[in-house]
Structure 1
Amino acid sequence: MRVKVACVGGGPAGLYLSILLKSRDPSHEITVHERGPEGSTYGWGVTYWRALLDRLHEHDPASARALDAHSVRWNEGTARVRDQVTRRPGDEGFGIGRHRLLEILADRARALGVRLEFESAISADDLPDADLVVAGDGVRSALRGRYAEHFGTEVTDGRNPYIWLGTTQVFDSFTFAFVETGHGWIWCYGYPFDAGRSTVVVECPPETRAGLGLDRMSEAAGLAVLEGLFADVLEGHPLIGRSDGAAGAQWLTFRTVTNRTWHRGNLVLLGDAAHTTHYSIGAGTTLALEDAVALAGALGTHAALPHALDRYERERKAALLTAQSAARHSAQWYENLTRYIDLPPERMFALLGQRHSPLLPYIPPQLYYRLDQAAGRLESLRRFKRWLGPRLARAAHARELSSRD
């Protein structure tokens, strides 16, 4: 049956959904509306992991091959604390420029016959005439905002400010650097995304940013201060603000978005419009693309739209529980950095890798490290961690919900 679909927002989720729907049934009439000009996207590089690439190969080999060909890889992590450096092997990670990712998906969508309309702003009060309208318009979704009461939208601002930057320093691993200042700690995460550039995300407590004056400086002055603080890892390379040159880089606080329900009539939420997870777990793009896979699958399985949207919502909410728990604990790890920063470097880096664990906040760090080392050798301890972790996560989530009431 021919279906007319309007995807509002030309990000990875909306574009990939259009690819999946059109490739499964070329008779579908699919339009992607993007309010910005083509090629005007913000941002630097995004990360993903091998499991996502394998899954994309299953659903659309052509776009997966292009994504693979234009990504850079790493399989180690490096942490610099003060003047000490620790390096550890890790899972294979991938980085790709956000511009390149969107180009790949847009080219594939066009090749399949999807209509892409740029500089096409869609009003929440004048939705397109379509069987299905997909709100993939991001964390500040206007379409979701128009019906926020129906969706049960909650937006929570994080504590620590951060700024998203680029650099011409090409890291050979996923790199962390922690610097102690007279006003507290400041740190960055860096990873490559093409042959000549890397992403650098800088984060610190609000009092550190204020103490350093970064909340009052011009962009140029602020970048100069940050270049000095992270000189060891930058090795003389500059930090760069917005990649599109349209505006200066801004300090932000992360917005955690949740929704009680994800659809209203023929309108459905996708990607960051439906949910966000803290950037420190590097899962935003992965979760958005997995949303698209799930929605396309549900639409292909159920002829009745309400049943398809119900299935999509149930499937993705269940799948997100682990990622959302990991994201909460990861953000809290950084917010409580002083609990871990004075450990021996190899132990601190090991617990940095364990920051997603719901057990870690409840066990003294040195003891947790020893237990984790033992768990690597004893199956009974591994089973205990797997049993106890989700229970602590559910208890913490319940406390969080009750504190909101």
Structure 2
Amino acid sequence: MKVACVGGGPAGLYLSILLKRQDPSHDITVHERGPEGSTYGWGVTYWRGLLDKLAAYDPESARAVEAHSVRWNHGIAHVRDSATRHPGDEGFGIGRHRLLEILAGRARSLGVRLEFEHEIHEITDGNLPSADLVVAADGVHSALRARHREHFGEDIRAGRNRYIWLGTTRVFDAFTFAFVETDHGWIWCYGYPFSPERSTCVVECAPETWRGLGLHTANEADGLALLEKLFADVLDGHPLIGRSTAQGGAPWLNFRTLTNRTWHRDNLVLLGDAAHTTHYSIGAGTTLALEDAIALAAALREHTVLPQALAHYERERKQALLSLQSAARYSAQWYENLPRYIHLPPEQMFALLGQRHSPLLPYVPPQLYYRMDKAAGQLEALRRFKRWLGPKVARTVHQRALTSRE
């Protein structure tokens, strides 16, 4: 099969790896519009479950990804002068540049052609070789999807809050939240390490706060200086880093949630952010893109007729995304309604931060929800204890019965 993959991000590269491993005779080319190594981005997060999947499908790239990742198992929330730390699941961070470098090197080693500085706008305009399968892995702004947006049923909805994606030399030792109150409302950041030298720092606030602080008119240098002052405690004297001047600086954005009614048209199929997006606050974007690649490769292996393979891929991934897309919507809504939770005692506020994916939380008074959740947690702990105790009690009774018979 001849495959043309438009977009050299994690989804497109990993798909090319999996297809080559399934059948080395596949003719696969990845077309990337930017120069090699020029991608913008700081770190990406993932969890142990993804690493286990990567190890199952391509152990070599999985080992390299894990070796170049940093990890944490705690979360910490700073609110005014207080801080609350809680244990959590093991999380991983890796630089986006390093992740792409690993996947590109692995793809090349398997015989995939990588063509950089090659932008594709239209399948039929002569700049893309004919192919049995064309994969649109060119992101939320996909040019290939946009050419056929009515067919795909593209739906893009902008969130209310403003956010900016930055880096910092402050290496956090946990997934870190910091909430700062200003005269114009609350502003907050999410920080996590992705290398021994750097962390990602995403800053978010309501549009009223963004305008009130003058961030809507500040140039990048002045904006970063103001943010460094606001988050001085959590940054501990370290700077925030934006994009280079050549990259156009780091913009403030509204998150765009993308869905599509269908993900394929003839031999064209959507992958990763070209097909769907989920709010960054659940940290699942890269994971979902790689899982898309795994599902598409499996569908192409299991179904020899292309339309059947693409339909199977779409059904499987849409079903898998339902709960995560719901969680992402409620997570974004939690931050958009931050004043509802921010004045709770720190331990309660952080507990509800961890419950922000709940569809019930917006409709229950926060303190009541906290008490209900705490009671449910204690009940579940009791159930686990009883399940653990049950076999031990049974063995003791059985042993005593044997003793009495003797």
Q: Same fold (TM over 0.5)?
A: yes
CA contact (8 A) 1:43 1:243 kept: no
Letter of the structure 1 residue corresponding to residue 50 of structure 2: L
Letter of the structure 2 residue corresponding to residue 296 of structure 1: A
3-state DSSP of counterpart to 1:216: coil
CA contact (8 A) 1:268 1:309 kept: yes
1:17 to 15, 18, 26: 15
In the superposition, relative to structure 1, how do residues 244 and 315 fare at CA in structure 2: closer, same or farther (>3 Å)? farther
| Counterpart position of 2:50 | 52
> Which stretches of structure 1, 4 residues or longer, exceed 3 Å deviation after superposition?
379-382
CA displacement at 1:381 relative to structure 2: 12
CA displacement at 1:362 relative to structure 2: 1.2
Q: Which runs of 5+ in 1 are unaligned?
A: 383-405
CA displacement at 1:376 relative to structure 2: 1.0
Note the 1:160-309 alignment, pairs <5 A.
Answer: 160-242=161-243, 246-309=247-310
Report the TM-score, using the length of structure 2 for normalisation: 0.92
CA displacement at 1:246 relative to structure 2: 2.3
3-state DSSP of counterpart to 1:37: coil
CA distance in 1, matches of 2:292, 2:244: 27
In the superposition, relative to structure 1, how do residues 31 and 245 fare at CA in structure 2: closer, same or farther (>3 Å)? same
CA displacement at 1:102 relative to structure 2: 0.1
| Counterpart position of 1:331 | 332
Letter of the structure 2 residue corresponding to residue 281 of structure 1: I
| Counterpart position of 2:89 | 91
CA distance in 2, matches of 1:81, 1:10: 39
CA distance in 1, matches of 2:240, 2:148: 40
In the superposition, relative to structure 1, how do residues 43 and 166 fare at CA in structure 2: closer, same or farther (>3 Å)? same
| Counterpart position of 1:37 | 35
1:111 to 109, 112, 122: 109
CA distance in 2, matches of 1:39, 1:113: 19
CA contact (8 A) 1:134 1:269 kept: yes
In the superposition, relative to structure 1, how do residues 51 and 187 fare at CA in structure 2: closer, same or farther (>3 Å)? same
Q: Cα deviations across residues 374-395 of structure 1 (Å, max 9, x unaligned)?
A: 111224999xxxxxxxxxxxxx
Letter of the structure 1 residue corresponding to residue 323 of structure 2: T
Across the aligned residues of Structure 1 and Structure 2, the Cα RMSD in angstroms comes to: 1.3
CA displacement at 1:336 relative to structure 2: 0.3
% identical equivalent positions: 78
Q: Which runs of 5+ in 2 are unaligned?
A: 384-406
1:76 to 74, 77, 86: 74
Letter of the structure 1 residue corresponding to residue 211 of structure 2: A
In the superposition, relative to structure 1, how do residues 16 and 332 fare at CA in structure 2: closer, same or farther (>3 Å)? same
3-state DSSP of counterpart to 1:376: helix
CA distance in 1, matches of 2:111, 2:129: 19
Structure number, greater radius of gyration: 2
3-state DSSP of counterpart to 2:173: coil
CA displacement at 1:128 relative to structure 2: 3.2
3-state DSSP of counterpart to 2:344: coil
CA contact (8 A) 1:44 1:243 kept: no
Letter of the structure 1 residue corresponding to residue 99 of structure 2: L
CA displacement at 1:186 relative to structure 2: 0.3
Paired residue total: 380
Letter of the structure 1 residue corresponding to residue 56 of structure 2: E
In the superposition, relative to structure 1, how do residues 91 and 243 fare at CA in structure 2: closer, same or farther (>3 Å)? farther
| Counterpart position of 1:387 | none
Letter of the structure 2 residue corresponding to residue 226 of structure 1: L
CA contact (8 A) 1:186 1:203 kept: yes
CA distance in 2, matches of 1:9, 1:58: 24
In the superposition, relative to structure 1, how do residues 91 and 245 fare at CA in structure 2: closer, same or farther (>3 Å)? farther
CA distance in 2, matches of 1:241, 1:142: 26
3-state DSSP of counterpart to 1:195: coil
Note the 1:315-354 alignment, pairs <5 A.
Answer: 315-354=316-355
In the superposition, relative to structure 1, how do residues 13 and 243 fare at CA in structure 2: closer, same or farther (>3 Å)? farther
3-state DSSP of counterpart to 2:378: coil
